[in-house]
Amino acid sequence: MALVNTRKMFEMAYKNGYAVGAFNVNNMEITQGIIEAVAEEKAPLILQVSRGAREYAKNSYLRAIIDVVVKENPEIPVAINLDHGDTFETCRQFVDDGFTSVMIDASSKPLEENIALTKEVVEYAHARDVVVEAELGQLGGIEEDVVGVSDDDISKHLADPNQVEEFVRKSGVDSLAVAIGTSHGAYKFKKEPKLAFDVLQEIADRLPGFPLVMHGSSSVLKEFVDLINKYGGDMPNAMGVPEDSVAKASKMAICKVNIDTDLRLALTAKIRQVFCEKPGEFDPRKYLGPARAKVKELVRHKVHDVLCCAGHAFD
């Protein structure tokens, strides 16, 4: 199976009660860690590229890495998604570059504008067999240049179930990221968050069979934060979405779960550990190698224990 869009993936995820992991790609080691994990777990995969990643690594390099992933793992269905496209022009570029999915995030705009911009992207993308994700409601936290609402306001900016049917009908969008209390980054919350499962269920009831997406879903695992702090880091009060909440949402209408921060934490924790335990080490392979292995371990855990999409690559 070559590069695919997410249509069939989401259909199967919805039907079988699991979610596909959408992991952000920033460099070779992270990408290798991800693909080795899903290949062993036989899980479907969505690789995502943000504008920031593209600026950091250059699109041609990221695309080359992704192309190798697809070529060397012909049995694994892989979709590539633009994460948080902000304009029609950005989305158009990624569609033209061969991405199989794009997200247009106009969630900070009034509903009518969000619908109109999403519809414009949908028309361009669908003509090229590319699917589109949009967003309703506003998330908390900060993800690169995407600034969300503050911690105290998260519950006031949830997706409004009254808007979802109109949004989907008028825009023609293929999947919808809904704000249900998650947040971007490593400092998501001041206290243990409670996701709005009642809102999620109401949206799901109004859109039967329609795939929903969860952003800001890293769990900021204590294991990694503790390692980072133990080996000279300084990340007090880092907090994410508990994995049992992500698992619960994955069994509901959430078909795609975005994970970026947890990858960064795993990579950084291992690099810090190597630097502290072997201060004479200067060969990048000797710290990036173990860091890549840590990313792989994390992704295996996510797809197997949290998203429950392991073994579903051939659905």
Q: Which spans of this chain sit near Zn ion (rule: CB under 5 A)?
A: 215
Judged by beta carbon, residue 12 or residue 176, the one nearer Zn ion is 176
Position with the least CB separation from Zn ion: 215
* 251 Cβ neighbours under 8 A, 6+ residues apart: 17, 18, 308
Burial of 301 per CB tally in 10 Å (0-12, 13-18, 19+): middle
Report the half-sphere exposure of 257 (CA within 13 A, side-chain side).
34
Judged by beta carbon, residue 6 or residue 32, the one nearer Zn ion is 6
Judged by beta carbon, residue 22 or residue 238, the one nearer Zn ion is 22
Least separation, in Å, of the C-beta of 150 and Zn ion? 16
CA distance 196 to 205: 14
Residue from 67, 83, 198, 234 carrying the catalytic annotation: 83
CA distance 183 to 246: 12
Least separation, in Å, of the C-beta of 184 and Zn ion? 6
Least separation, in Å, of the C-beta of 307 and Zn ion? 16
Least separation, in Å, of the C-beta of 217 and Zn ion? 9
Judged by beta carbon, residue 145 or residue 281, the one nearer Zn ion is 145
CA distance 109 to 190: 27
Judged by beta carbon, residue 36 or residue 262, the one nearer Zn ion is 262
The strand ranges marked E within the chain are 20-24, 45-50, 78-85, 101-104, 131-136, 140-143, 146-147, 175-178, 183-184, 212-214, 254-259
CA distance 159 to 180: 7
Judged by beta carbon, residue 215 or residue 302, the one nearer Zn ion is 215
Please choose, from the candidates 169, 189, 173, the residue with its C-alpha nearest in 3D space to the C-alpha of residue 181.
Answer: 189
Least separation, in Å, of the C-beta of 107 and Zn ion? 10
Q: Which two tokens stand for residue 174?
A: 């293929």
Least separation, in Å, of the C-beta of 148 and Zn ion? 9
Q: Is 151 a catalytic residue?
A: no
Q: Which two tokens stand for residue 115?
A: 């619908």
Let me know the angle formed at the C-alpha of 68 by 66 and 72, rounded to the nearest 5 degrees. 125
Report the half-sphere exposure of 17 (CA within 13 A, side-chain side).
3
Active site residues: 83
